[in-house]
Structure 1
């Protein structure tokens, strides 16, 4: 049996520009306990993180531009695909990496995720280590001077 990859594969082939820390992450999640737990993990790792639900995130990005968006798929009002499509309509969000962070299997969300403009997938069951590795790929921090 082959070992699982250290980082999930990207859905996109585009290059991501280096980001000057702190890396700003928007967590779009309807489970507030999970959202705040993930925010705490990211802040402990040196990220600036904010949380919002599926409609609140569209208001937030008018005044705050994240370097990365982590979006749940199954949410009321707007699902993660609808959120990604709406974000891609905003000029300053067109190139911001969007990660599908869901309990759904990757094969169940890839086609619609790619069509919606999402860049990668990370299973909620993978825990924060895999997500942190993926964040490093889509928002690389330049090495020292």
Structure 2
């Protein structure tokens, strides 16, 4: 079975790269984009199975990125996980409007994030 592929969108380079290393050790493949704009600059032929999206980013916050993704043919159906230090209650209402599929709090044990990724990854990769 091919590995689940992830796009990690986060302006915190150290945190994003640490998360990428952790998910790769878990058996996924990951590509890091330092901003929403950078996410759209990844190779057009590449579509991840799941997007892990920081909410608090300068210029284009995670809600704006999610809305742009939902409006694009490439990312329209890709599950999005809000990965934020903000409380879930703060993210949930705007997250529904932006069509974000799940929330995972930064700093929580990663096994929960791994379960969320496995749950959201589409079966088409099998």
Q: 1:38 aligns with which of 19, 37, 49?
A: 19
Q: Deviations over 1:6-60 (max 9, x none)?
A: xxxxxxxxxxxxxx52111000000000000000011111111000022101111
Superposed, 1:1-145 pairs within 5 Å as 21-54=2-35, 55-60=37-42, 62-139=44-121
Name which structure has the greater RCO, CA cutoff 8 Å, separation 6+: 1
* Separation of aligned partners in 2, 1:114 and 1:62: 26
TM-score w.r.t. structure 1 length? 0.80
Aligned residues: 124
Segment drifting more, 111-120 vs 55-64? 55-64
- Aligned Cα RMSD in Å? 1.8
Kindly name which structure, 1 or 2, has the bigger radius of gyration based on alpha carbons.
1
Where do 5+ consecutive residues of structure 2 fail to align?
none
Question: Partner of 2:74: helix, strand, or coil?
Answer: helix
Q: 1:99 to 1:61 in 2, by over 3 A?
A: farther
TM-score w.r.t. structure 2 length? 0.91
Where do 5+ consecutive residues of structure 1 fail to align?
1-19
* Separation of aligned partners in 2, 1:128 and 1:100: 14
